[in-house]
């Protein structure tokens, strides 16, 4: 077999949270170049809804052409970080690149964020990034291609990005401030940068990016104002669409399949204000799925609150869920991962709505 001559061939890349998601995607891309990958993550047993462990990731990395070292690491534990770094140096001779990908998220407002969730986000996102960087830096200094890459957003001080999830923003911005500080501190020795991907069905900007396009009016400059999306004029009562919510749910029900229910496995409850509003549900967990007026028979995994008009706009594709949430038009309680699954379903239904 010919030796791999990719750009990262022979480089050792230490990646936190690399057992799944973006972390694993970065690992597999580097593996194709022939890199050595240190999988620093805490998942040793597959989750029923989130497949992937450090061991299955290692198998995929080696199949892609790289070498893998799976290490059990909870970035809240300084000793586990140190042990993984020592193992990486012992096996591969050093560390060339660090990717701080491990992160915890809770897009909840101040009163709805438990202290233990605040601690988790601060300790994983900010503290974990800082400690992992600190442990790797002595070895990065010895590398000719030394680089730290944090998966964190630009430091956007628009109040919009703080209003709905203050604790999460603080925790993620801590990662970004590590970039700002360490890039200057180790200038000339280690390159330090941040990466904040765009996300969505057809690539839409993630949170913390003011480019959708120009999504927020100048009202967001006022800390007490509720931001509006440009191009959406407030509607008078006469313009409200009577029966639109019921029709939307009818189309959703007619579009349900066993595959959709099997892939989603969640119950959604909608608290809608305005004409044709009230409590509605979308059951994508039992049998072939169901929709209806009133509360679901099973406990709702996600509760979404918004106006009836915005609900119809969101399901028809005229209002993106991300911007609805960020602007305060949509409030979400429950499992955010399942809420994202619902967004994917909306994309499939938009041609019919």
* DSSP H helices in the chain: 21-32, 54-63, 78-92, 115-121, 128-140, 160-163, 166-185, 244-255, 258-264, 308-316, 321-326, 336-349
Nearest-angstrom CA–CA distance, 52 and 27: 13
Nearest-angstrom CA–CA distance, 189 and 170: 28
Query: Which residues face 12 on adjacent strands?
Result: 36
| Active-site residue flag, 293 | no
Distances (CA, A) of 251 to 142, 255, 315: 61, 6, 10
Q: Nearest 5 degrees, angle CA 24-CA 177-CA 148? A: 40
**Residue partners of 273: CB distance under 8 A and separation at least 6:** 305, 306, 307, 308
Token pair of 318 as six digits: 């005229």
Nearest-angstrom CA–CA distance, 178 and 176: 5
Placement of tokens 């290692």 in the chain: 58
What SS3 class is residue 312?
helix
- Cα four-point dihedral sign 201, 203, 206, 209: negative
**Residue partners of 114: CB distance under 8 A and separation at least 6:** none
Q: Are 268 and 260 in contact (CB under 8 A)?
A: no
| Catalytic one of 55, 130, 139, 168 | 168
Token pair of 230 as six digits: 């440009």
Radius of gyration (C-alpha) of the chain in whole angstroms? 23
Beta-carbon count within 10 A of 52 CB: 18
Active site residues: 168
């Amino acid at each position: 077999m010919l030796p791999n001559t990719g750009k990262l061939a022979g480089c050792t890349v230490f990646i936190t949270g690399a057992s799944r998601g973006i972390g694993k995607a970065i690992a597999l891309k580097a593996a194709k170049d022939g890199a050595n990958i240190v999988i620093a993550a805490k998942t040793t047993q597959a989750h029923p809804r989130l497949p992937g462990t450090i061991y299955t990731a290692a198998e995929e990395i080696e199949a892609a052409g790289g070498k893998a070292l799976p290490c059990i690491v909870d970035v809240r534990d300084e000793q586990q970080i140190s042990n993984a770094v020592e193992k990486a140096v012992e096996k591969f001779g050093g560390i060339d690149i660090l990717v701080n990908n491990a992160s915890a998220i809770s897009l909840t407002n101040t009163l709805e964020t438990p202290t233990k969730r605040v601690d988790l986000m601060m300790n994983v996102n900010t503290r974990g990034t800082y400690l992992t960087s600190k442990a790797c830096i002595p070895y990065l200094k010895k590398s000719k291609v030394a680089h730290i890459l944090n998966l964190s957003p630009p430091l956007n001080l628009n109040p919009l990005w703080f209003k709905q999830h203050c604790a999460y923003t603080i925790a993620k911005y801590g990662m970004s401030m590590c970039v700002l500080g360490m890039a200057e501190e180790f200038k000339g020795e280690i390159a330090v940068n941040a990466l904040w991907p765009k996300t969505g069905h057809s690539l839409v900007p993630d949170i913390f990016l003011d480019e959708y396009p120009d999504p927020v009016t100048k009202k967001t400059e006022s800390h007490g104002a509720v931001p509006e999306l440009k191009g959406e004029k407030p509607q008078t009562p006469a313009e409200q669409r009577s029966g639109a919510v019921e029709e939307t749910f009818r189309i959703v029900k007619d579009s349900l399949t066993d595959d959709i229910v099997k892939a989603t496995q969640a119950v959604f409850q909608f608290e809608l204000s305005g004409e044709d509003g009230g409590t509605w549900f979308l059951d994508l967990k039992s049998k072939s799925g169901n929709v209806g007026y009133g509360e679901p028979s099973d406990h709702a995994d996600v509760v979404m609150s918004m106006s009836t008009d915005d609900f119809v706009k969101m399901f028809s594709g005229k209002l993106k869920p991300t911007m609805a949430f960020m602007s305060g038009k949509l409030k979400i309680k429950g499992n955010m991962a399942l809420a994202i699954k619902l967004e994917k379903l909306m994309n499939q239904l938009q041609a019919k709505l």
